[in-house]
Amino acid sequence: MASSLRTSVFATAVFLGFFGVETQAQTRVRGTITAVDGDTLTVEGKERVALSDKTEIVFTQPIALSEIKPGDFLGVTSVRRPDGTLSAIEVRRFPKPVNPGHRPFDGRDDQTMTNAAVGAVVQSASGRELTMTYEGGAQKIVVPEGASVSTLVSGNRGQLVLGAPVNLTHDANRVALRIQVSPSKK
């Protein structure tokens, strides 16, 4: 019986790992780096997170919206305007598709996240507009002049500096698994 149980647990772990299902609890932290002390970051003065050799760091390299082309895969954080249209806050180009679809973001009714392929980029009466397509739907999103537009590239520890905005996940031991860092505004 013990052998059968071990085999079942092993098979379940392999299945979950193969299909990319997370097998450990993760916590998301967003904010600005307020302290760097060796292998420890502090975010917003209260969230202390350790770095390890396995921590993945990606950098949001600013680009022009004109560099976005049909077929590119983007993650677009938007706010819903009173008239129901979506206005981009942040546009990120990903190297490969990640979690396609359209959903509420950060638990707010007025914010959305759309991860999808670009169907079209056009100049409309309301500004620059992206048509984003994903299985089962499409969204039109206006990109105002002040929206952040970037592409994700491999990052390094040298980019983890005071004032840099981060979006990271850590495990139950508070060890960073993945850190997305943006240029410091200082």
pLDDT tens for the chain, residues 1 to 186: 433 333 333 333 333 333 344 445 889 899 999 999 999 999 999 999 999 999 999 999 999 999 999 999 999 999 999 999 999 999 999 988 989 999 998 777 789 999 999 998 888 776 789 999 999 999 999 999 889 999 999 999 999 999 999 999 999 999 999 999 999 876
DSSP for 69-103, written as a single string: -TT-EEEEEEEE-TTS-EEEEEEEEESS--S-EEE
* pLDDT at site 146: 86
Predicted confidence at residue 24, as pLDDT, reads: 58
CB 65 within 8 A of CB 121: yes
pLDDT reported for residue 126: 67
Could you tell me the CA-to-CA distances from 120 to 10, 83, 134, 137, 142 in Å, in that order? 45, 22, 13, 14, 12
Which pLDDT does position 35 carry in this prediction?
Answer: 96
Q: Which position has the token pair 């949001």?
A: 60
pTM: 0.72
Q: Residue 9: its pLDDT value, please? A: 33
Other Cβ atoms within 10 Å of 98 Cβ, number: 12
